[in-house]
Chains A and B, each alone.
Chain A
Amino acid sequence: MSILVKEDTRILVQGITGDFGARHARLSLDYGSQVVAGVTPGKGGQVFEHAGKKVPIFNTVAEAARQTGATVSAIFVPPPFAADAILECFDADLDLAVAITEGIPVRDMVRAKRAMAGRRTRLIGPNCPGLVTPGRGDKSSGGCRIGIAPGYIHKRGNVGVVSRSGTLTYEAVWQLTCRGKGQSTCVGIGGDPVNGTSHLDVIKLFNDDPETEAIIMIGEIGGNAEVEVARWIKEHCKKPVAGFIAGATAPAGRRMGHAGAVIGGAEDTAAAKIKIFQECGISVAATPSDMADALLRIWKG
């Protein structure tokens, strides 16, 4: 198994006719993922074509889901309209909405997160690289790629990876793959202060997933989500966990690229989070080059 998505998960892409959405829809199709529908309001009836594959475009998410059986949406809609796109997924009762869009106003996300309460749809992101469950083909092809991660760096296996950052996730995944260790699912939860799925949510899913044997968790300065999850791991997690916190050198009060990466209080710092990781039995990577090795020090695979 894997978490959240499997090789045969049927995907729709909101914003498939935009440059960004189209590019990554093509890459997902190349990877062998089941991109079965596009949604662009007003372009329903058109067809998105790539490498001999024809993906029908619909006006609404509900219609796309009904006609194609898509259960997951990848959202590439521009920031002013992205929260609306997320809400449309909730309304269509999808399993999962993955918001790649960067730069959504916080107020829009506060409202969207409130609207998510009591709905069955899970939101991942926004401002995230998406998620990948690697396939079993050449260079992990045939997997489920939702979002913008490079597919070929993955390898199917037993490590779950969760991170706020895109490129730092790729770094960890590539280190694992180069050491012959594959991944069950890799999830980027996004760098915004308000997001749909937390580190803790993903860690719980990994903990319950029989295929996942070990976990790498990548956090950063700002907020206390990593602290919360470290304490949960100490009490409940059955699997070895390695962690890394980015931002040890970040000055207080400045946003480091990610809207959520800002040191507010004393507990937001990298040093404070690392200390709590260690107290909770998490193997801490000393540098970002050490993420896979930090896991392999406590897990032999």
Chain B
Amino acid sequence: MNIHEYQAKTLFEKFGVAVPKGVAVQTADQFAAALAQLDGTGGYMVKSQIHAGGRGKGTFTDGFKGGVKFSATAEKAVANAQAMLGNTLITAQTGKAGRKVQTIYFTEAANLGKRPDGRDDEFYLAILLDRATSQPVIVASTEGGMEIEHVAHATPEKIFKVHVDPAVGLQAFQARQIAFSLGFSGELFKQCVTLVTKLYQFYWEKDCAMVEVNPLLVTKEGKLLALDAKVSFDDNALFRHPDVVALRDLNEEDAKEIESSKFGLSYIALDGDIACLVNGAGLAMSTMDIIQHFGGSPANFLDVGGGATKDQVTAAFKIILGDPNVKGILVNIFGGIMDCNVIATGIVEAVKETGLKLPLVVRLEGNNVDAGKATLAASGLTIVSGDSMADAAQKIVKLVNAK
């Protein structure tokens, strides 16, 4: 689960991680009051709150440029906020449709600029799971404000990693290693050790999937601040964090994905025109692959889980049919334990209930498959049967292309 920057920073503050002071608002009539709470001597930052990166370089659908803007005065901050709120922001990560900005976050513009000693003032800090070692890893870099993948590729020597042994947690020497690796000394060194320690505590206690601070900033006054904050949580652990669940913003999630989760379905929308309905994540992924292999284009990932009951199949069909791009459906079920005839009966009922008119190819395999195929054939519906995954994929691609 993802949260907004302003929510992440509120959590940071609770854990003692320093951030610029800020206020988030959802309506334009709150702009002035929000700005009045901030010290504007260094100007303000006006930040669109959406769950996607690349906001600063994004463009709104009406042509307004930049989802994150520096504003020297409160008047300019209000004008920028008015241009952003309710507007749709397109960034490298949002896709063509973009995301509607429903919250504006005003912050005090931390005192940017080179430090007196001329050193870089922006750093990178992240904590995530290293799958290779099954341990949390803290990643730090002197190259803040840039895409870390780019830094890792171009100048790998500028990336520092510290793995945390989960048996003992983050040790003081490890926090010092990070602070030294970023070149800090004196007062800043102490601030960095504290910030890394608190940030790790937040990551671990709140079951984060990833915490990223980019950039971590040194102000002209010599204060270390998390200027941006990107936080995601492990969905599996949400049951023990009701305070985190309360931060979920359904506006940022695909309506069909929310609907599907109510039925125990795992659905992800894609750009193609052949929908698929499959049991099991691995089989669902490879069903998308085989559609593409035979010249089609998958419209979604949809895993109905191990069961595939009539209610689930009906719900799945309704979700699939909610996508106007869909021109045909491929059902691929390996009924290992489940009776294929029960699944076939569920498919027939779901087709009748939804009044499905699109081409439908069904590939059933497994337990009692002959009875299942007979049920499909006897239904009087135009359901095409596929003998193997390859056969079924070729048939649906042909049917959709013929339309």
Residues of A participating in the B interface, judged by any CB pair closer than 8 Å: 27, 79-80, 103-111, 113-115, 148-150, 152-153, 163-171, 174, 191, 193-194, 218, 220-225, 228, 244, 246-251, 253-254, 256-261, 265, 270, 286-290
In the assembly, what is the distance between CA of A270 and CA of B313, in Å? 29
> Does B149 interact with chain A (Cβ within 8 Å)?
yes
Does B237 lie within 8 Å of A107, measured CB to CB? yes
Q: Is the CB of A168 within 8 A of B280?
A: yes
When distances are taken between beta carbons in the complex, the residues of chain A under 8 Å from B200 are: none
10 new A-B pairs (CB below 8 Å) besides A106-B207, A194-B134, A222-B131? A80-B240, A105-B236, A107-B234, A111-B166, A152-B367, A167-B280, A256-B268, A256-B285, A287-B390, A288-B283
**A228→B279 CA distance, assembly (Å):** 29
Which residues of B pack against A, CB within 8 Å? 93, 129, 131-132, 134-136, 149, 165-167, 204, 207, 209, 234-237, 239-240, 266, 268, 270, 278-293, 298, 301, 303, 306, 334, 336-337, 365-367, 388-391, 393
Closest CB pairs A-B (n = 6):
A165-B282, A257-B281, A167-B280, A150-B336, A105-B237, A168-B282
Q: Given the complex, which residues of B lie within 8 Å of A27, measured CB to CB?
A: 337
Q: Assuming A191-B282, A250-B285, is B134 touching A170 (CB within 8 A)?
A: no
In the bound complex, residues from chain B placing their C-beta under 8 Å from that of A191 are: 281-282
Of A167, A218, A249, which is within 8 A of B288 by CB?
A: A249
A251 contacts which chain B residues (CB < 8 A)? 268, 270
**A225 CA to B130 CA, complexed, in Å:** 12
CB closest residue in chain A, given B365? A174
Residues of B within 8 A of A194 (CB): 129, 131, 134
B contact residues around A249 at 8 Å (CB): 270, 285, 288-289, 291-292, 298
Q: How far is the CB of B176 from chain A (nearest CB, A)?
A: 23
- Provide 10 A-B residue pairs closer than 8 Å at the C-beta atoms, listed in order of the A residue: A79-B236, A106-B129, A110-B129, A115-B167, A167-B278, A171-B334, A174-B334, A220-B285, A248-B289, A289-B391
Residues of A within 8 A of B136 (CB): 110
Question: Most chain-A Cβ atoms within 10 A of its Cβ — which of B278, B292, B389?
Answer: B389
Among the listed B135, B236, B266, B367, which residue makes an inter-chain contact with A110, where contact means beta carbons less than 8 Å apart? B135
Of A110, A167, A224, A248, the residue contacting B166 (CB under 8 A) is: A110
In the assembled complex, how far is the CB of residue A12 from the closest CB belonging to chain B, in whole angstroms? 21
B237 lies within 8 A of A287 (CB): no
A247, B288: Cα distance in complex, Å: 8
Do residues A170 and B334 form an inter-chain contact, with CB atoms below 8 A?
yes
A residues within 8 A CB of B391? Answer: 289
Which residue on A lies nearest to B335, using beta carbons? A150
Within the complex, the shortest CB–CB distance from A264 to chain B, in Å, comes to: 9
Say which residue of A114, A167, A246, A258 sits within 8 Å of B165 (CB atoms).
A114
Q: A149-B336, A270-B289 are in contact. Are A107 and B207 (CB under 8 A)?
A: yes
Q: How far is the CB of B102 from chain A (nearest CB, A)?
A: 22
| Bound Cα distance A166, B374 (Å) | 26
Q: How far is the CA of A174 from the CA of B389 in the complex (A)?
A: 12
User: Which chain A positions have C-beta within 8 A of B134?
Assistant: 109-110, 113-114, 194
Contact at B237–A106, with CB atoms within 8 Å? yes
Q: Which of A153, A193, A261 contacts B285 (CB 8 A)?
A: A261
CA distance A168 to B287 in the complex (A): 10
Q: Which of A113, A150, A260, A286 contacts B367 (CB 8 A)?
A: A150
Given A107-B207, A170-B336, CB of A289 within 8 Å of CB of B236: no
In whole angstroms, how far apart are the Cα atoms of A109 and B390 in the complex?
37
Find chain A residues with CB under 8 A from B239 CB.
Answer: 79-80
Q: Which residue of B lies closest to A289 (CB)?
A: B390
Chain B residues lying within 8 Å of A256, measured Cβ to Cβ, are 268, 281, 284-285, 301
Chain A CB within 10 Å — which of B131, B266, B337 has the most?
B131
By beta carbon, the residue of chain A nearest B297 is A249
* Chain B residues positioned under 8 Å from A170 (CB to CB): 334, 336, 366
Residue from the set B134, B237, B285, B334 with the largest chain A CB neighbour count within 10 Å = B285
Which single residue of chain B is at the shortest CB-CB distance from A221? B285
In the complex, residue of chain B having the shortest beta-carbon distance to the beta carbon of A253: B93
List A contacts of B393 (CB < 8 A). Answer: 287
Closest to B298 in A: A249
CA distance A198 to B351 in the complex (A): 41
Cα distance A110–B203 in the bound complex, in angstroms: 13
Distance A259 CA – B131 CA, assembled complex (angstroms): 12
Contact A289 B388 (CB under 8 A): yes
Contact of A171 among B236, B270, B283, B298 (CB under 8 A): B283
Counting chain B CB atoms within 10 Å of each CB, the highest count among A103, A153, A223, A247 belongs to A247
Contact B289–A288 (Cβ < 8 Å): yes
- Could you say which residues of chain B place their CB within 8 Å of the CB of A223? 131-132
Q: Is the CB of B293 within 8 A of A287?
A: yes
Taking the closest CB of chain A, its distance from the CB of B94, in whole angstroms, is 12
B289, A287: Cβ atoms under 8 Å?
yes
With both beta carbons as reference points, the residue of chain A lying nearest to B293 in the complex is identified as A287
Query: Bound complex: CA of A79 vs CA of B292, how far in Å?
Result: 35
Inter-subunit contact B281/A261 (CB<8 Å) = yes
CB distance from A36 to the nearest CB of B (A): 22
Decide if B293 touches A104 in the complex (CB within 8 Å). Answer: no
- CB nearest to B306 among chain A residues: A148
CA distance A22 to B337 in the complex (A): 14
Are A166 and B388 in contact, with the CB atoms below 8 A? no
In the complex, how many angstroms separate the beta carbon of A125 from the nearest chain B beta carbon?
14
A193 touches B131 (CB 8 A): yes
CA distance A106 to B282 in the complex (A): 20
Name which of A228, A256, A290 has the most chain B CB atoms within 10 A of its CB.
A256
Q: Are B293 and A114 in contact (CB under 8 A)?
A: no
Chain B residue nearest in CB terms to A265: B149
With CB as the reference atom, state the residue of chain B lying closest to A79: B236
User: Distance (Å) between the CB of A8 and the closest chain B CB?
Assistant: 24
Given A106-B234, A113-B134: A168 and B288 interface contact (C-beta under 8 Å): no
Hey, which chain A residues are within 8 Å of B234, CB to CB? 105-107
Q: Is B207 within 8 A of A105, CB to CB? A: yes
Given A110-B166, A150-B367, A194-B134, the answer on whether A288 and B240 have CB atoms closer than 8 Å is no
Residues of B near A107 (CB, < 8 A) are 166, 204, 207, 234, 237
Please name all residues of chain B whose beta carbon is closer than 8 Å to the beta carbon of A174 when the two chains form the complex. Answer: 334, 365-366
